[in-house]
Amino acid sequence: MPRSPGRRGEILDAFVRYVAERGYDRTNMGDIADELGMSKGTIVHHFGTKAQMLRELEETHLAVQLDALRMAWDRLAAPHERIAAIIYASALLQVIARDATVASQREVVQLSDDPAMQQVRKLRVQLQTLAIDEIRNGIEGGVFRSVDVELAALQLWGSLEWMWVWFDPADSPPPEQVGAAFVDVFLGGLLLDRLGLSKWASPSADVVSVVRECLASVSGATD
């Protein structure tokens, strides 16, 4: 997640790490203040409430994903390439922006009905719509078999949003390998012709390089 400069950035970085490690409910301003050697009042001055910090975390992290994928769309035209890009982006973020990814995914329903989280909900819908549109385009273009488009997109995002639970950068296979396995199963289940599947379901696939470059461009992060 791109970092804001100064003390405000330090506070948000610490908050993101605590939420990733403990969850939102067990994260408190007092611990952040103690770690950073400041008063709780300083945190309140910058953010107001803990909920405001969660909103900023979610908005920033989801915007990075959207911006990276939209940039990738300029380089990847085919529906199957774009679906693969969504999968590889999610896998790579487990390493490139680990704390923000875990914090966002574990708290996906936190404050979900809060009016202040309207922009977060909008960004999540936009991400889901990317998958819906490409699955539909693939069906209409004769590349994918006919499926319930919205259910297929929910299946995809549901599996990707759950990755934080079991993925461990120190223990799991590399994110490119994990992404390739997901592409093999999900994209393989959509394609009418699986002959070229290995071209996209590979850790060294061109789409992986495209996604990595786009993520680095929008976030300034490298793995």
- Domain residue spans of the chain: 50-219
Instruction: Read off the pLDDT band of 117 (50, 70, 90).
Output: confident
Under CATH, domain 50-219 is a member of which superfamily? Tetracycline Repressor, domain 2 (1.10.357.10)
pLDDT reading at 101 higher than 70: yes
Give the angle 107-108-111 at the CA atoms, nearest 5°: 75
Predicted local distance difference test score (pLDDT) of residue 113: 74
> Rounded CA gap, 215 and 179, in Å?
15
Instruction: Read off the pLDDT band of 9 (50, 70, 90).
Output: confident
Q: State the DSSP code for 97.
A: T
Q: State the DSSP code for 81.
A: H
pLDDT in tens, 124-161: 999 999 999 999 999 999 999 999 999 999 999 999 99
Which residues have C-beta within 8 Å of that of residue 147, sequence separation ≥ 6? 135, 139, 190
Predicted local distance difference test score (pLDDT) of residue 89: 97
Contact of 89 with 215, CB cutoff 8 Å: yes
Predicted local distance difference test score (pLDDT) of residue 111: 65
pLDDT in tens, 168-205: 999 999 999 999 999 999 999 999 999 889 999 999 99
pLDDT in tens, 27-76: 988 999 999 999 889 989 888 888 899 889 999 999 999 999 999 999 99
Lowest mean pLDDT among 8-22, 63-77, 110-124, 153-167: 110-124
> Rounded CA gap, 81 and 13, in Å?
33
Predicted local distance difference test score (pLDDT) of residue 223: 42
pLDDT reading at 222 higher than 70: no
Predicted local distance difference test score (pLDDT) of residue 8: 87
Among candidate residues 16, 7, 14, 15, the one with its CA nearest the CA of residue 45: 7
Predicted local distance difference test score (pLDDT) of residue 188: 95
- Quickly list H helices, 148-223: 149-161, 163-166, 175-190, 206-219
pLDDT reading at 115 higher than 90: no
Predicted local distance difference test score (pLDDT) of residue 4: 53
3-state secondary structure of 37: coil
Residue 111 falls in which region: left (phi positive, over 0), alpha (psi -120 to 50) or beta: left
Q: What is the dihedral of CA 99, 159, 61, 23, to 10 degrees?
A: -40
* pLDDT, the chain, mean: 91
